[in-house]
Amino acid sequence: MHTTDDLIQLALKEDIGPGDITTDHLVAPQTRGQGTIIAKADLIIDGLAVAAKVFQTLDPASLVDARGYRDGDPVATGSTVIQVDGALSALLTGERTALNFLQRLSGIATQTRSWVEEVAGTTVKLVDTRKTTPGWRVLEKYAVRIGGAHNHRMGLYDGVLIKDNHIAACGGIAAAVKKVRQSISHLIKVEVETGTLEAVQEALEAGVDVIMLDNMQMDQIRQAVRIINKRVLVEASGNVTRQQLKALAQTGVDLISIGALTHSAPAVDLSMCIERR
């Protein structure tokens, strides 16, 4: 799994390559500068420490001031979210990489917060999926939490989720659940994906911990919730839209998983003004 430092190094190497031929030929190494990152829209900020680390990687002596903001804070249009004092060359070279991190992560946090607000006052939890940018999962799932939602599995290694192809490979839900229970720790929960009410009943009888209702119609979901009757956690999943959220939360499900929290979040608008000091 990539660490934040790994991702920063990868992003800088990708952008700079053998050298920033523009900045290297225009700016003397000793020249100092100040950069100001400004929100061009209302947003939920995330990635402040990552952006700061970009500049500090290029210039360890740089001073980064987040102006009192913390990840998860709302930021109004026109507000300064970061001010950086350091080598002018580091500011110019690191500008796009820092903004890329901030815009992407703040975009996820901002969209997630708006979805969470749709189900305010209910007990349902919104959770993400594994539909993340390759290599960015730790950061993007952190952005989901910053936005007020929750994480599903981090990867294939931290929870059992028996999906339709697993079921087909094992010859049924009961057989798949029995087989996996024989091998895993008693501390690990088992979730099964279901697409019919018959599959829901089979999953209940197999003794699973969580039942996913995948791509079911709203009436089917209500029936499934009644059948399950709070015996296990119930997760609704599959092409969930923001417009459906309130009605879906009112069916009685415990969790709603939403790939769009990460895979369809638009980047927010942030810009950086740089001046020589």
* Catalytic annotation, residues: 96, 131, 163, 193, 214
The 160-162 sheet, strands edge to edge:
125-127, 255-257, 233-237, 210-214, 190-194, 160-162
Other C-beta atoms lying within 10 Å of the C-beta of residue 145: 16
Q: Are 83 and 35 in contact (CB under 8 A)?
A: yes
Please give the structure tokens belonging to residue 215. 């791509």
Residue with tokens 């390559």: 17
Q: Are 112 and 258 in contact (CB under 8 A)?
A: no
Q: Are 235 and 218 in contact (CB under 8 A)?
A: no
Q: Count H helices, E strands: the chain?
A: 11, 12
